Amino acid sequence: MTGLRAYLKDHAGILPAALVIGVFMIVPILIILIYSFLAPGDYGGVKPEFSTDAYQRLLFQNDLFDQLVFDPAYLKITFRSLWIATVAVTGCLIVGFPVAYYIAGQPEERRNVFLLLITIPFWTNLLIRTYCWILVLRDTGLINSALMALGVIDAPLTLLYTEGAIALGLIYTYIPFMVLPIYAALERLDLRLIEAARDLYSSRWGALWFIVVPLSMPGIIAGSILVFIPALGAFIAPDLLGGGKNLMLGSLVQLQFSAARNWPFGSALAMVIMAMVLLCLMLYARNLRRGGGGFQH
Amino acid sequence: MKTAVSIKNLNKIYSGVPPVQALRDATLDIRDNEFFTLLGPSGCGKTTLLRLIAGFEAPTGGSLHLFGEEISALPPESRPVNTVFQHYSLFPHMSVLENVAFGLRRLRKSEAKAHATAQEMLDLVHLSDFAARSPGQLSGGQQQRVALARALAPHPRVLLLDEPLSALDLKLRQSMRAELKRLQKETGITFVFVTHDQEEALAMSDRIAVMSQGEIQQVDNPARIYEFPENRFVAEFIGDANFFEARVGANEEGSANYHLFDGSKLHGPQGHAPEGATVTIFFRPEKARLAQTGLAGEVTEILYLGNNTDYLIRLDQGADVMVRSENHKDGTALAETGARVCVEVDPRAIRVLIP
Amino acid sequence: MRHSDRDIRWLPGFNWVTLFFFLFLYLPLIILVVFSFNASRSATVWDGFSLQWYAKAFANDDIQRATKNSLIIAVFATINATTLATMAALALGRNRRVRRKQMFSGLIILPLMIPEIVTAVATLTFFAAIGLSLGLGNIIIAHTVFCIPFAYLPIRARLQGMDESLEAAARDLYSGKWATLRLVTLPLLMPGIISGAMLAFIISLDDFIITLMVAEAGSTTLPIYIYSLVRIGITPEVNAISTVLLGISIIIVTVSYLIGKKT
């Protein structure tokens, strides 16, 4: 008893937060894990019967004769989600790395201003920022009007409601998550290492590739995961910029819990997302254990 | 003479894999009103001992008395002991004066008294004009003196100084040595000073404890530490020394011959070792000289040090010795590289270490 | 001599990528702000300056109600999350007796690792399962949970950057544990607590998908209201209210940046 009391006394600082997250985050996720193995209720919710229908539906469908037939519809959505999230990560990396590198090379005063500028859009409502891209991309939007006015094209290009538009929206939303960790890694980089590489006959790009990139790898990996995870479950960008026809997993889950009222299937889809996230985190953890670059002390 | 800090069989083991024994069976009495130095290389346990006295760490065994009172169970705020931290640790959100008055306020001194004492302390370290500044606006040396004033203000019974001069540059360090010495005399407070700088320790201390690998090697005054080190570690860590393995030869009237294993012979004082025993003997390089007779060899390297010159000599029998010598009055060297010389050692300078 | 010749870090083209990046980041915001002052409904053609959309936005009952809800939720979620996060950071950063620190710090940042949509449906399911129906209270609980890591990270970073010997110095100078916390640790930690609180506040104010799933009728927040407008065609009223929010955000962030720079 005194052992428990001593434990509670020593852990009085950490337990409240741990308890809040445990009760309102971990328990709910365990509940949807259970729900994913139950049968759907008639008006949402679940019936207490064990069923693997929700997972079967991911790959199969009942045809007219109640036979299970392979149906790739949801598999396609899964792959589309993975594909778009990968494109978003790649786009963020291609733009984000040079930006992080450039900022890290600035004098300290200017560095802080740049960081402030990166975070300001982050403080504006995401819906609004995504909506702004509708104004830019639609048939009568800025890009099409400008191109038509310049006589480059005669008819408007279809930019909005494409997978490209979704990826663009995701890049726009999550690119600070890529820039900031890479910047953090680069800021700690010992500049004398670049000098040493140049001294030992590396070109500018050689020093970048052989010294800077490997040493900033923890930042690059952290940034990629920070972009990939939310992009995979994104709802707003696919909904607004994909116009609903380019469904991603996130929108599909939301649909099951609202209009479609199939909570077990929605839960199963959420578990699919969780499985992919866990896989990412495990790869990340393994990478960290291996040392993952030069910054682990 | 009263004892300020009395340490008996003090141990500190840091748990971990593997556990680290930072302090092993340390036993030590620090006298009231003395300038006492803990000297040793990094990782020798000197800072651990200091932190144990301050109360930042709890010992894993042994006893720790402050003026006769057992204090190992007391938290730092209940010990009449103050610390000057290595990197000063001035509170950045308070002014210099507030920093110095902090301890007095926590001791519930009246506001007026705290203020007056803090001003007095700033006078003592010549910083009264900087009272309203924030610590970040001061130079390293000034921050150092504020840290001193802050630790002295509550008038502790013992002042602990954790390598306080290590972050200063050479000139400043030298002037701060004199300053610390003066403050210790003026305040009459026992100073326990931690350093890895042997020169600093010799110059400032009344007594020195040399530490290595968690153990106290020798406690003595500076001259005895330098002249009569008790073991090879102390002899090597403080100053330079030429060591030889030797066999004790025949005694005659309090002195003995030492047969070096390369065949040559040195005359020195009689040690505690019986005739025929193997011992380590050594002499300091400045106690030997280049002469016509003695151990013959060839100069292999010359290091010019300004006030002295170090000559490295390879003896004919194979051993290397160093001789430190003043230059000729006209500034020319005593010998060139490659010259044949003899090394003569005053028998009184030979020290015998018991293995 | 040109800058590029001197600096060995310089890589050609990276400055242009950075310029492009900032244009990309700010272009939508500029469009948003500019057309909030447009005299017509158009969001592409400029018809002259007008403040009519601001007047309409401020007179709109729905917007007022939604803003009020959003602010109430954000304030409570921020207070809860920041308090919990500060306690947790101090326990993990300064209390040597806390065991399994890695597990606890993983737990604290767990909400960051889980996609919002999963959190959203899980929380909805949980509240439905236990029959919790507190109106705004439900949303405040949900927001507190995902705001904890956002509040925690800046506080923890600040704490890690703080020299522990400052606290040792306070203890040495006759301060007990609580006095040290009050006089030294908390004042020095304050910039971290403030930026953590601000981050939590904005994240809560901005949240859409979790609120959408958890909110009951009558608990409409600003993002949910805006979403309903986006679906039926947005009016520049939304631009106006967003511009106001953007302005407030910029002021808060800049002020806190300046405070942070001073300390």
Of B85, B93, B107, the CB nearest to C187: B93
User: Which chains would you list as touching A if contact means 3+ CB atom pairs under 8 Å?
Assistant: C
Contact (CB, 8 A) for A44 and C125: no
Does domain A73-294 bear CATH number 1.10.3720.10?
Answer: yes
Residue B263 is predicted with a pLDDT of: 67
Please tell me the least confidently modeled range out of A26-30, B280-284, C242-246.
C242-246
Q: Which amino acid is at A164?
A: G
Confidence at residue C82, expressed as pLDDT on a 0 to 100 scale = 97
* Average of per-residue pLDDT values in chain C: 87
Question: What does the pLDDT read at residue A161?
Answer: 87
**Does residue C151 carry a pLDDT above 70?**
yes
Residue C121 clears pLDDT 50, i.e. is over it: yes
Could you report the per-residue pLDDT of C217-253, keeping only the tens digit for each? Answer: 888 998 898 888 877 766 788 788 888 877 877 787 7
For residue A114, the model assigns a pLDDT of 92
Tell me the pLDDT tens digit for each residue of A257-278.
Answer: 888 888 999 999 999 999 999 9
% of chain B with per-residue pLDDT over 90: 58
How sure is the predictor about A297, in pLDDT bands with cuts at 50, 70 and 90? very low
| A294 has a pLDDT exceeding 50 | no
Q: Residue C91 pLDDT > 60, yes or no? A: yes
- Which residues from B are below 8 Å from C172, CB to CB? 54-56, 76-77, 81-83, 103, 151
CB contact under 8 A, B83 and C168: yes
At residue B355 the predicted structure's pLDDT band, cuts being 50, 70 and 90, is low
Average pLDDT over residues A151-166: 86
Across the range C101-120, mean pLDDT stands at 92
pLDDT in tens, C12-36: 888 899 999 999 999 888 888 888 8
Contact indicator for A128, C208 with CB cutoff of 8 Å: no
Q: What value does the mean pLDDT take over residues B137-163?
A: 93
Q: Which residues contact B170 (CB under 8 A, 6 or more apart)?
A: none
Average pLDDT over residues A234-244: 86
Contact B85 C169 (CB under 8 A): yes
Count how many residues are written for chain B.
Answer: 355
Domain limits, chain A: 73-294
B vs C, Cβ pairs < 8 A, gives 69
Give all chains having 3 or more CB-to-CB distances under 8 Å with chain B.
Answer: C
Q: Do chains A and C touch (3 or more CB pairs under 8 A)?
A: yes
Q: Give start and end residues of each alpha helix (H) in chain A.
A: 2-10, 15-21, 27-35, 53-59, 73-104, 108-122, 126-137, 142-149, 163-187, 191-199, 204-207, 213-215, 217-232, 236-241, 249-257, 263-289
Average pLDDT over residues B67-95: 91
Contact B175, B185 (CB under 8 A): no
At residue A126, does pLDDT exceed 90?
A: no
Q: Which residue of B has its CA nearest to C184?
A: B91
Mean pLDDT on C160-181: 92
Using an 8 Å CB-CB cutoff, list chain C residues near A21: 107-108, 110-111, 145, 148
Q: Which range is least confidently modeled, A27-41, A82-96, A233-247?
A: A233-247
pLDDT given at position C217: 80
> Which segment, A127-131, B100-104, B258-262, is predicted with the most confidence on average?
B100-104
Q: Enter the tokens of residue A217.
A: 């790898």
ipTM for the complex? 0.86
Best-predicted range by mean pLDDT among A55-59, A228-232, C95-99?
A228-232
Query: Do chains B and A meet with 3 or more Cβ pairs nearer than 8 Å?
Result: no
User: Residue A180 and residue A174: Cα distance in Å, rounded?
Assistant: 11
Closest CA to C69 of C125, C143, C126, C124: C143
Distance CA A172, CA B166 (A): 50
Over pLDDT 90: what percentage of chain A? 31
CATH architecture assignment, domain C60-261: Orthogonal Bundle (1.10)
pLDDT tens digits, A92-105: 999 999 999 999 88
User: What are the residue boundaries of the structural domains of chain C, listed by start?
Assistant: 3-35, 60-261
